[in-house]
Chains A and B, each alone.
Chain A
Amino acid sequence: MEFEYGTVKSIAAKVITAGTEITDYIGRSRGVIERTAQGNDGFASAKALSTIAKKLVEDTLKAAGKCADTGQKVVESAENYRRTESTVKSEVNLAKEYLGAVPGM
């Protein structure tokens, strides 16, 4: 079964970066976005903006956090996989050694 540990880790790192970069970016931009709801009394759209601007910023930050978490989980999953694979290989090797030691095998 195909498993390139280095490539998988590199992909996961990129996914993590895509999460952290968005977190920083939205964090820097949220002031301008949320200001759209300020002032402009009497406008129904100002009220709608105060709801959507905040929610959109918050939900995008959540999505970015989830993206970074996903990358982290891929790293962990890949490491678990490698450990398991390594354990299986060791057991197979041990078994081979054992079988090799058995006369007639």
Chain B
Amino acid sequence: MVDYRQLKDARPAVWTEGGTKAASIGRDMDQYAEDVGKYGNDLDRAWQGNDAVAARHSIVEASRDYVQAQVAFTAMGEILGRLAHDVTEAQKMLNAAEDHAARVPAKIHPDGSVTADPPPEARKSDGWMASIRQGVEAVADEIKRALELANKADKDAAKALAAITTPEAPNVDPLTALQTRPEGHDGQPPTPDEVKKWWDGLSEEEQESLKNEYPGIVGNMDGIPTTDRDDANRVTLDYAREQNDRDIAGAKAELDRLRHEVGEGKLDPFDPRLDAARQKIEDLEAKKHGLDAIDARLNDGSKPQAHLLSLDPQNDGKAAVAIGNPDKADNVATYVPGTGGGLNDGFKTDIDRADQMQKDAAGRDPSKTTASIVWQGYDSPDELTDATDPKYRHQAADDLARFQQGLRTTNEHGPDHSRNTLLGHSYGASVVGTAAEKHDLKVDNLVQVAAPGSGQDHGTTAADYKGHPKVYASTGNLDVINLARGLHGADTVSHGYGANVFDGGYTGHTGYWNDDAYNESVSKIVTGTGGEVGNIPPEQFSKYRAPHR
């Protein structure tokens, strides 16, 4: 038990210093664990066979040892930080009690007991003496509470420190943990709630090892918290960038080989393989730009911290980047891009749009935290000519619904805390409608911008969506989409559809985020003052009516 004298003499600063150092080591060990794990995977490409398997196994074990050290140092840092904080508070309470004692006046003895120390004249006054006795009791109580706080902090810290596992303990096998994950139902992945429950049940070592060794799975599971997904997807991003660079080098080498054959007269200069090789390089270069844009935004310290919520580098590529942390946010806005989306040259623009949305909303209501997300989690049509095909929006619907539901599951303030807005642009506007017709997306607001139709296959009005979000729609006056409104379901800016229509300005199809009035309207919707937005009366609908109707 910590007594009065020991609490007075305590030096919590050594715990603060040690805790800060331990936390710093924990962060560095995290990076080393990730790096060493990656070396194990790199070995796979350079060496195969039994000897290579054994070598890889040893490297992975080294990585897991580092994970244990990371978890241990991080825990030590947190424990020491809490202990230092609480003991400092307890010392402040003691100081306050001592000041109080001087005013009573009372005397605090070295063992912490308190007695009255009345001046001679006080002894002649019953009232004065009674007041001093009350003061003595109050001071004794204040000391007692300070000691209780210090002893509780000490006991909790001692218990938590004893529970720390050092790298000498046997390593966890993340595959075993992975095999316990929920399976899902009817061919669908598990719900975010099921995933969250499973994830929360794992030890920290298991979680860390899973992020390092199975980043492609963990990073894309809706229901896993944002920071954990971000950790895992950054590992995947490193792999993806390296692999893409190798693929570019390989594709260039192949083109050189074909050109050489042409030079030697062995290959027709119009052989289709030449065009295919050139196209492959172009596609890979575009993907490189998309991956580089993500990496640059994740490491841009001049803007709100970004998190990589999902990443799949296969084919055209899929990704979701959050500006801010949606798990901590009061307002969460998700933007779904349209045709031509994917990990390519255009993805930087999509990230910039999410940045714009976050900045506008945070500026409009600084008392709340806002996170915005660009969700390119679906295979979108490559060209406008493909955008007549409904298959893309149908394939996207389930994944978008699960992603939106996952945002509710992982919000640290509870599933009903945040105001969630889902905004789709162009084909993405039809995607959000298709998803909302099929599922309750748990969103407060659904915004359809430059929509080639509501995306509904059965309903025809904004009131037909599951979960009944407030529905907003906008289309710029110079937008070519005016020629295609109603292609996928209802015309979103028609009177009959019933959305709250707001002005898209004199913008073309890609110009919305450059229009101040449009940005202001979106920020109002995102921060909960959507009632001030739009409400364009029916008599003015003519300017939003499709020219062919």
Interface residues of A (CB under 8 A from B): 1-4, 7-8, 11, 14-15, 18-19, 21-22, 25-26, 29, 32-33, 35-36, 38-45, 47-49, 51-53, 55-56, 59-60, 62-63, 66-67, 70-71, 73-74, 77-78, 80-81
- Most chain B C-beta atoms within 10 Å of own C-beta, residue among A14, A35, A44: A44
Interchain CA distance A35-B161 in the complex, whole Å: 15
Interchain CA distance A17-B154 in the complex, whole Å: 39
B135 → A minimal CB distance (Å): 28
Chain A residue contacts of B157, Cβ below 8 A? 45, 48
Interchain CA distance A59-B18 in the complex, whole Å: 18
Q: Cβ of B62 and Cβ of A36 under 8 Å apart?
A: no
Known pairs A25-B25, A56-B76; A62 contacts B168 (CB<8 A): yes
Q: Cβ of A81 and Cβ of B51 under 8 Å apart?
A: yes
Mask of B8-37 contacts with A, CB within 8 angstroms, 1/0: 011100110111011001001100100110
Chain A residue contacts of B155, Cβ below 8 A? 44
Output the nearest chain B residue to A41 by Cβ-Cβ distance: B6
Say if the beta carbon of B69 comes within 8 Å of chain A.
yes
Q: Cβ of B167 and Cβ of A59 under 8 Å apart?
A: yes
Known pairs A3-B46, A56-B73; A66 contacts B62 (CB<8 A): yes
Q: Cβ of B42 and Cβ of A11 under 8 Å apart?
A: yes
Q: Cβ of A59 and Cβ of B28 under 8 Å apart?
A: no
Interchain CA distance A8-B51 in the complex, whole Å: 12
- The listed residue (A3, A35, A78) touching B18 by CB distance below 8 A is A35
Q: Cβ of A2 and Cβ of B154 under 8 Å apart?
A: no
A89 → B minimal CB distance (Å): 16
- The listed residue (B7, B51, B59) touching A15 by CB distance below 8 A is B59
Q: Cβ of A45 and Cβ of B46 under 8 Å apart?
A: no
Output the nearest chain B residue to A75 by Cβ-Cβ distance: B55
Chain B residue contacts of A29, Cβ below 8 A? 21, 25
- The listed residue (B17, B32, B46) touching A4 by CB distance below 8 A is B46
Chain B residue contacts of A33, Cβ below 8 A? 18, 21-22, 25, 76
Mask of B58-77 contacts with A, CB within 8 angstroms, 1/0: 11011001101100110010
Interchain CA distance A11-B242 in the complex, whole Å: 15
What are the 8 tightest A-B residue pairs by CB atom distance, in nearest-first order? A36-B18, A42-B6, A63-B65, A7-B46, A45-B157, A59-B166, A67-B62, A48-B161
Interface residues of B (CB under 8 A from A): 1-3, 6-7, 9-11, 14-15, 17-19, 21-22, 25, 28-29, 32, 35-36, 39, 42-43, 45-49, 51-52, 54-55, 58-59, 61-62, 65-66, 68-69, 72-73, 76, 80, 83, 154-155, 157-158, 161-162, 164, 166-168
Known pairs A3-B46, A60-B69, A74-B55; A40 contacts B11 (CB<8 A): yes
Q: Cβ of B154 and Cβ of A44 under 8 Å apart?
A: yes
Q: Cβ of B62 and Cβ of A70 under 8 Å apart?
A: yes
- The listed residue (A3, A25, A48, A81) touching B158 by CB distance below 8 A is A48
A73 → B minimal CB distance (Å): 7
Interchain CA distance A66-B66 in the complex, whole Å: 11
**What are 26 A-to-B residue pairs whose CB atoms are below 8 Å?**
A2-B47, A3-B46, A32-B18, A36-B14, A36-B17, A39-B14, A41-B9, A42-B3, A44-B154, A45-B154, A45-B158, A48-B161, A52-B162, A53-B18, A56-B72, A56-B166, A59-B166, A59-B167, A59-B168, A62-B167, A67-B65, A70-B59, A73-B55, A74-B58, A77-B51, A78-B47
- The listed residue (B1, B48, B58) touching A42 by CB distance below 8 A is B1
Interchain CA distance A21-B80 in the complex, whole Å: 25
Q: Cβ of A44 and Cβ of B158 under 8 Å apart?
A: yes
- The listed residue (A8, A49, A63) touching B161 by CB distance below 8 A is A49
B69 → A minimal CB distance (Å): 5
Chain B residue contacts of A7, Cβ below 8 A? 42, 45-47
Q: Cβ of A42 and Cβ of B59 under 8 Å apart?
A: no
Chain A residue contacts of B2, Cβ below 8 A? 42-43
Known pairs A3-B46, A48-B162; A25 contacts B76 (CB<8 A): no
Chain A residue contacts of B48, Cβ below 8 A? 1-3
Interchain CA distance A14-B47 in the complex, whole Å: 16
Chain B residue contacts of A56, Cβ below 8 A? 69, 72-73, 76, 164, 166
B488 → A minimal CB distance (Å): 48
Interchain CA distance A70-B45 in the complex, whole Å: 18
Interchain CA distance A77-B59 in the complex, whole Å: 13
Interchain CA distance A44-B161 in the complex, whole Å: 10
Q: Cβ of B28 and Cβ of A25 under 8 Å apart?
A: yes
Interchain CA distance A58-B15 in the complex, whole Å: 20
Chain A residue contacts of B168, Cβ below 8 A? 55, 59, 62
- The listed residue (A38, A41, A45, A80) touching B83 by CB distance below 8 A is A45
B64 → A minimal CB distance (Å): 9
Chain A residue contacts of B6, Cβ below 8 A? 40-43
Chain A residue contacts of B43, Cβ below 8 A? 8, 11, 74
Chain B residue contacts of A11, Cβ below 8 A? 39, 42-43, 46
Interchain CA distance A49-B162 in the complex, whole Å: 8
Interchain CA distance A22-B32 in the complex, whole Å: 8
Q: Cβ of B14 and Cβ of A38 under 8 Å apart?
A: yes
New A-B contacts (4) at CB < 8 Å, excluding given A2-B47, A45-B157, A60-B73 = A48-B157, A52-B162, A60-B167, A67-B36
Output the nearest chain A residue to B60 by Cβ-Cβ distance: A70
